[in-house]
């Protein structure tokens, strides 16, 4: 009898709990709908296109970019489908070309390969803390997780690692050094748009990859990256 009474008490408590939860959910649902946020974590993969290349410079291998981070969603209307995003993240980019960078100690020399060079690939490699700012529009609501989005804005990046690398044809020689000619602060325009999981990511740099003192054949190297890729949003 004691066991039966205990079971009855447990079931009664459980049913009471469900009733309370049901009542709470009907009361909380409008509040949740008025406070929901979207797309606060992101990760992306892109291909770096080098624009404004000096004469004789060609892009080689796969110049890639990776990014991930957090962006605070800040809706400004009642439907919460229009607003701003302000965030911080990490990004790494590699730019492969036939530009050979040579560390001369007090200076860095840039040149194109000659017949005597045993060249496999050369690249600029960066690692950065990124600060995206977006103007956001979407067709979402508190219950619909498949929607259209258009996010445009700007992104600034502080490069905490800036390297030039050279790898010989037989891979016996791998030279890497910190390249202070790579602009430590980089900034550009961004556009992310798409539906549901798959979204296109575009980034156009507003300043050159290298500082003004970097020259090739006595001309400033004014290469500007254009990134084209995909970006994924979570939560």
CA atoms of 196 and 209, how far apart (whole Å): 33
What is the arithmetic mean of pLDDT over 176-191? 96
CA-to-CA distance for 192 and 85, rounded, in angstroms?
Answer: 12
Chain-centroid distance of CA 35 in Å reads 26
What pLDDT does residue 17 have?
A: 43
Q: Which of 84, 68, 57, 82 is nearest to 224 (CA)?
A: 57
Per-residue pLDDT band for 158 (boundaries 50, 70, 90) equals very high
**DSSP character at residue 129:** E
The Cα 3–Cα 21 span in angstroms is 27
The residue behind tokens 């709908």 is: 33
Determine contact, residues 166/124, Cβ cutoff 8 Å: no
Residue 234, pLDDT score: 85
Give 67's contacts (C-beta < 8 A, 6+ positions apart).
Answer: 42, 43, 44, 46, 89, 90, 91, 92, 130, 231
Q: How far is residue 217's CA from residue 177's CA, in Å, rounded to a whole number?
A: 22
State residue 15 phi and psi, 5-degree precision.
Answer: -65, -40
State the Rg of the chain over Cα: 26
What average pLDDT does this structure show over 173-182? 88
pLDDT tens-digit map of 202-233: 999 999 999 988 999 889 999 999 999 999 99
pLDDT grade for 9, boundaries at 50, 70 and 90:
low
Indicate the SS3 state at residue 172. Answer: coil
Query: Phi and psi (nearest 5°) for 204?
Result: -120, 120
Q: What is the pLDDT of residue 25?
A: 41
Give the pLDDT score at 174: 76
Per-residue confidence band for 200, with pLDDT thresholds at 50, 70 and 90: very high
Mean pLDDT (whole number) for 137-148: 86
Give the Cα-Cα-Cα angle 130, 150, 187 (nearest 5 degrees). Answer: 25
In the numeric block, which tokens belong to residue 225? 């990256």
Residue 13: what pLDDT?
Answer: 53
In this structure, of 9-18, 97-106, 162-171, the range with the lowest mean pLDDT score is 9-18
Say if CB 73 and CB 35 are below 8 A apart. Answer: no
Whole-number pLDDT of residue 171: 59
Per the prediction, the chain carries an average pLDDT of 85
pLDDT at residue 106, rounded to an integer: 83
The pLDDT assigned to 3 comes to 47
pLDDT digits (tens, 9 = 90+) for 11-64: 455 445 444 444 444 444 454 556 778 889 999 999 999 999 999 999 988 999
């Amino acid at each position: 009898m004691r066991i039966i009474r205990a079971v009855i008490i447990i079931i009664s408590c459980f049913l009471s709990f469900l009733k309370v939860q049901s009542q709470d959910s009907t009361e909380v649902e409008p509040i949740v709908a008025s406070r929901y946020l979207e797309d606060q974590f992101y990760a992306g993969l892109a291909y770096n296109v080098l624009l404004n290349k000096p004469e004789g410079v060609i892009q080689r291998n796969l110049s890639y970019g990776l990014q991930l981070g957090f962006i605070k969603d800040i809706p400004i209307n009642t439907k919460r489908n229009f607003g701003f995003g302000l965030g911080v993240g990490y990004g790494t980019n590699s730019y492969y070309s036939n530009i050979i960078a040579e560390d001369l100690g007090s200076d860095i020399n840039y040149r194109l390969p000659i017949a005597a060079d045993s060249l496999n690939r050369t690249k600029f490699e960066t690692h950065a803390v990124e600060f995206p700012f977006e103007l956001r529009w979407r067709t979402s609501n508190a219950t619909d997780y498949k929607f259209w989005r258009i996010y445009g804005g700007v992104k600034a990046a502080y490069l905490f690692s800036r390297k030039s690398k050279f790898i010989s044809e037989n891979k016996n020689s791998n030279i890497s050094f910190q390249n202070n000619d790579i602009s430590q602060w980089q900034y550009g325009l961004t556009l992310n748009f798409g539906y549901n999981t798959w979204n296109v990511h575009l980034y156009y740099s507003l300043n050159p990859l290298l500082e003004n003192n970097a020259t090739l054949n006595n001309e400033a190297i004014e290469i500007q990256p254009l990134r084209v890729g995909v970006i994924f949003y979570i939560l």
